[in-house]
Amino acid sequence: MTFEEIHQRLAAKFGDRIGPLAPANKDAFAPVQTPAIVEICEFLKTDPELAFDCLINLSSVDWPKKNQIEVVYHFWSYQKQHSFIVKCLLDRAKPELPSVTSVWNAANWLEREQFDLMGVVFTDHPDLRRIMLPDDWVGNPLRKDYAEQPEWHNITTTRESPLDGFVRLDELVKKKASEKKEVLQ
């Protein structure tokens, strides 16, 4: 099925809870109302014509100027060989939406990643906790206004530029070559 056909099927079932199909740079997507995400995902998975048996990816985008966080779901059907994308727009101050782990187990770690790095809270998630950063880490590093702390538990978070390492390596090579030249003379 094409994106348009999938969207028409969703719109027929869910009405105004599915937004208009929005063209994008690469793939079209459909915005969905946040409270309906689980019901829509269940339909995407169980409807025989759609059969989206795989949640390929769940990501998010921070839009500070719009005061929104956009959660993006990418679906794939192995049986039907088609894909689809839906997006939920959340209030940046309180980004919450229902978990889809009851529909796809793969959502478990994907939602935890967005919770950890972007601060999106997935209600009804079976184990919502940080997955990449320590439990006592402050902030969400993928937010555009995130300010990294200079240290964490007396460990510096500042990294030198890789170019500085190359300069030191170059100086070391030159020094060794100079020493070797002096020994040969």
Confidence of residue 160 (pLDDT cuts 50, 70, 90): confident
Predicted local confidence at residue 24, as pLDDT: 66
Predicted local confidence at residue 27, as pLDDT: 81
Domain-by-domain residue ranges, the chain?
A: 3-144, 148-185
pLDDT in tens, 9-37: 999 999 999 999 887 677 889 999 999 99
* Cβ-based neighbour number of residue 3 at 10 Å: 18
The whole-angstrom separation of Cα 30 and Cα 20 is: 6
Please give the average per-residue pLDDT across 94-115, as a whole number.
Answer: 97
pLDDT in tens, 42-90: 999 999 999 999 999 999 999 999 999 999 999 999 999 999 999 999 9
Please give the average per-residue pLDDT across 146-152, as a whole number.
Answer: 84
Class of domain 3-144: alpha beta
pLDDT in tens, 127-138: 999 999 999 889
Confidence of residue 121 (pLDDT cuts 50, 70, 90): very high
Predicted local confidence at residue 184, as pLDDT: 79
Residue 156 pLDDT greater than 90, yes or no: no
The whole-angstrom separation of Cα 24 and Cα 181 is: 62
